[in-house]
C-alpha cells in the first residue's frame, strides 16, 4: 500500500477533485445569486418555453403552511373588512371587482432567495378600499387574515397606503390562480413574499396587532426587500 | 465436488465469479441510493409548482424531507461505524488515486482499469462532494428559517443546482448500470457482491487479474 502511494504514476486526484468541487460549491454561497440574476435573464426565454408548472420556469415556487389549499367559491366568498373602522364592510367577489381597478408590473421577491421579475398584477389599491371603510383615528395596523389557517400578516396604515399596495385578483392578465391565493391576495412589492398574504378573506384594523405567521418564527415585521431579515 | 485450484471455470466459459463489492460497500451504496430517491421525491414536491399544488401538505412534506435527511446521515454513520472500516479506507484510496491508465481512459482511449474505472472514481468523488454540499446547504436552509445569521440569498440556489447536477449523474449512472448491454452486468456486483471473471477481465483488467475468487 505504501509503495503504491509513493508510486509516481498514481496521483491523488480524487481528493483534490473532492476538495475543489466542494470549495467551489461552498463559495457559490457568496456569488451564486448575483451570477444567477445575470444568467437567468439569458435563459428566461428558454425556460418560459417549458410547460408551466413543470419546473419553476417563471421562477414561482408555491409555499403553503396548512395541509390543504383554500378553494374559492364565488357565490359564498366574502372579504370582510372590520375592526377600527367607521364603515365595516363585507365585499362579494363581484363587488370587489367593481371597485376602481389598477394595474402594476413589479418584481416579486421571496426571502428564501428567488425572485420573479415583471409580474403584472391587477386589483384594487388598498388605499381605495380604506377610503370606503374609513379607519378610525386609533387604527394603526392592518391584519390580513388568510383563508389558509393560521396564516396572517400585518402592515402599518402608512405601509398599506403606499401607491402600489394592492389586493390583486388578476395575475399576468388572468384570474389569480388557486396556488397564488385565489381569489385575492395582497401585493406589496417593496416587501418580501411572506408579507404578500394569499387567500385574503378578512382585513382587521387594529391599534396593536398580533405578529404575523413568519414574524412569530423570527422573521422581520418590516420586511423591506434588501433591507431586512439579514439580507 | 471440491474444485481444484484453477478449475472454477467449470461453471461455464465465464471462468467463475469474483467478489467486487464487500457487504459494507453495498450497504453504503444502497443506503445512499434509497435516501437520495426519498429526498428527491419529497424535494420535488417542495420545488415543482404543479406538485406543490397537487400534494399541498407542505409542512408534512417538509418534515418528511428533513427526517429523511437525518435518517440518511445516521444510516451512513451506522454503516461506517459497524462495517469494515479498513476495507472502506482501502476503497477510498482506490478512488483517490488516478494512474496513467486512468488518465488515458479519461481521454477516451482504451486502457486497463482497476476495480473502479476512472469514470466511476469521478462519479464517486462528485457524489460524495454533492452529498456534503446538500447537507450543508440543507442545514443552512433549516437554520436560516430560524436565525437571520444563517440566511444567505444563494443557499436555495445551491441546493437546487445540486439537485439538477445529481439527477444528471444519476441518469448516466442508471443508464450504464441497468440499460447499456456491456456494462449492466455491474449491477450484479452491487446487488450480490460478485461479478463474472471474464466480464471483469474485459472491463476492469488491472483489478481482475489480481483478484481471487470468492471463498470456497
Contact A18 B128 (CB under 8 A): yes
Q: In the predicted model, is pLDDT for residue A119 greater than 60?
A: yes
Of chain A, the percentage scoring pLDDT greater than 70 comes to 89
What is the distance between the alpha carbons of residues B182 and A81, in angstroms, rounded to a whole number? 70
What are the chain B neighbours of A4 within 8 Å (beta carbons)? 93, 97
Contact A18 B152 (CB under 8 A): no
What nine digits make up the cell of A47? 425556460
pLDDT bin (cut points 50, 70, 90) of residue B212 is low
Contact A5 B136 (CB under 8 A): no
What are the chain A neighbours of B153 within 8 Å (beta carbons)? 33, 113, 231
CA angle A31–B122–A25, rounded 5-degree value: 15
pLDDT at A53: 58
The number of C-beta contacts closer than 8 angstroms across A and B is 137
Residues A166-178 have a mean pLDDT of 96
Structural domains in chain A plus CATH codes: 2-47 (no CATH), 78-217 (3.90.420.10)
What nine digits make up the cell of B7? 478449475
Residues A20-31 have a mean pLDDT of 96
Residues A70-82 have a mean pLDDT of 96
**What's the whole-model pTM score?**
0.86
Residues B89-114 have a mean pLDDT of 95
What is the distance between the alpha carbons of residues A26 and B155, in angstroms, rounded to a whole number? 9
Residues B69-95 have a mean pLDDT of 97
CB distance from B147 to chain A under 8 Å? yes
pLDDT bin (cut points 50, 70, 90) of residue A113 is confident
Q: Which of B59, B130, B156 sits opposite A113 (nearest CB)?
A: B156
Q: In the predicted model, is pLDDT for residue B8 greater than 50?
A: no
Q: Which residues contact A21 (CB under 8 A, 6 or more apart)?
A: B125, B126, B129, B130
What is the distance between the alpha carbons of residues A203 and A205, in angstroms, rounded to a whole number? 7
Contact A53 B53 (CB under 8 A): yes
Contact B153 A113 (CB under 8 A): yes
Of B12 and A67, the one with more pLDDT: A67
- Condensed to tens digits (0 to 9), the pLDDT of residues B38-76 reads 999 999 999 998 899 889 899 999 999 999 999 999 999
CB distance from B157 to chain A under 8 Å? yes
Residues B98-120 have a mean pLDDT of 95
CA angle A115–B36–B49, rounded 5-degree value: 30
- Condensed to tens digits (0 to 9), the pLDDT of residues B165-204 reads 999 999 999 999 999 999 999 999 999 999 999 999 999 9
Listed by number, the residues of chain B in 38-77 with a beta carbon closer than 8 Å to a beta carbon of chain A are: 46-50, 52-53, 56-60
What nine digits make up the cell of A82? 372590520
What is the domain class of B19-208 according to CATH?
Answer: mainly alpha
Asked if A86 and A78 touch (Cβ cutoff 8 Å), the reply is no
- A38-42, B24-28, B87-91, B109-113: which has the minimum mean pLDDT? A38-42
Amino acid at each position: 500500500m505504501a509503495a503504491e502511494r509513493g508510486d509516481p504514476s498514481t496521483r491523488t486526484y480524487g481528493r483534490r477533485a473532492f476538495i475543489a468541487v466542494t470549495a467551489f460549491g461552498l463559495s457559490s454561497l457568496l456569488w451564486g445569486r448575483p451570477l444567477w440574476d445575470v444568467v437567468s435573464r439569458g435563459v428566461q426565454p428558454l425556460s418560459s418555453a417549458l410547460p408551466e408548472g413543470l419546473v419553476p420556469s417563471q421562477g414561482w415556487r408555491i409555499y403553503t403552511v396548512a395541509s390543504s389549499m383554500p378553494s374559492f367559491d364565488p357565490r359564498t366568498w366574502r372579504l370582510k373588512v372590520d375592526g377600527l373602522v367607521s364603515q365595516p364592510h363585507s365585499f362579494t367577489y363581484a363587488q370587489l371587482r367593481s371597485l376602481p381597478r389598477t394595474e402594476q408590473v413589479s418584481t416579486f421577491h421571496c426571502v428564501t432567495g428567488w425572485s420573479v421579475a415583471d409580474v403584472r398584477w391587477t386589483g384594487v389599491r388598498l388605499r381605495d378600499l380604506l377610503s370606503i371603510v374609513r379607519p378610525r383615528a386609533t387604527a394603526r395596523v392592518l391584519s390580513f387574515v388568510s383563508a389558509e389557517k393560521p396564516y396572517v400578516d400585518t402592515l402599518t396604515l402608512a405601509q398599506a397606503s403606499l401607491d402600489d399596495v394592492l389586493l390583486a385578483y388578476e395575475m399576468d392578465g388572468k384570474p389569480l390562480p388557486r396556488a397564488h391565493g385565489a381569489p385575492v391576495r395582497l401585493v406589496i412589492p417593496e416587501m418580501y413574499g411572506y408579507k404578500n398574504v394569499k387567500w385574503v378573506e378578512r382585513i382587521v384594523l387594529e391599534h396593536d396587532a398580533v405578529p404575523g405567521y413568519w414574524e412569530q418564527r423570527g422573521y422581520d415585521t418590516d420586511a423591506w426587500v434588501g433591507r431586512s431579515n439579514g439580507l | 465436488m471440491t474444485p481444484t485450484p484453477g478449475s472454477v471455470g467449470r461453471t461455464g466459459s465465464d471462468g467463475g465469479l469474483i467478489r467486487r463489492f464487500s457487504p459494507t460497500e453495498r450497504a453504503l451504496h444502497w443506503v445512499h441510493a434509497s435516501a437520495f430517491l426519498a429526498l428527491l421525491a419529497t424535494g420535488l414536491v417542495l420545488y415543482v409548482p404543479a406538485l406543490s399544488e397537487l400534494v399541498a401538505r407542505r409542512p408534512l412534506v417538509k418534515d418528511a424531507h428533513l427526517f429523511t435527511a437525518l435518517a440518511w446521515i445516521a444510516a451512513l454513520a451506522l454503516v461506517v461505524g459497524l462495517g469494515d472500516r479498513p476495507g472502506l479506507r482501502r476503497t477510498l484510496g482506490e478512488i483517490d488515486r488516478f494512474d496513467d491508465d486512468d488518465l488515458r481512459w479519461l481521454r477516451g482511449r482504451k486502457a486497463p482499469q482497476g476495480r473502479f474505472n476512472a469514470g466511476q472514481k469521478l462519479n464517486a468523488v462528485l457524489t460524495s462532494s454533492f452529498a456534503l454540499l446538500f447537507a450543508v446547504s440543507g442545514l443552512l436552509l433549516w437554520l436560516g428559517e430560524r436565525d437571520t445569521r444563517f440566511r444567505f440569498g444563494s443557499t436555495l440556489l445551491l441546493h437546487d443546482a445540486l439537485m439538477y447536477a445529481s439527477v444528471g449523474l444519476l441518469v448516466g449512472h442508471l443508464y450504464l448500470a441497468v440499460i447499456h448491454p456491456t456494462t449492466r452486468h455491474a449491477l450484479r456486483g452491487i446487488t450480490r457482491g460478485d461479478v463474472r471473471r471474464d466480464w471483469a477481465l474485459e472491463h476492469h483488467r488491472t483489478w481482475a487479474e489480481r483478484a481471487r475468487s470468492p471463498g470456497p
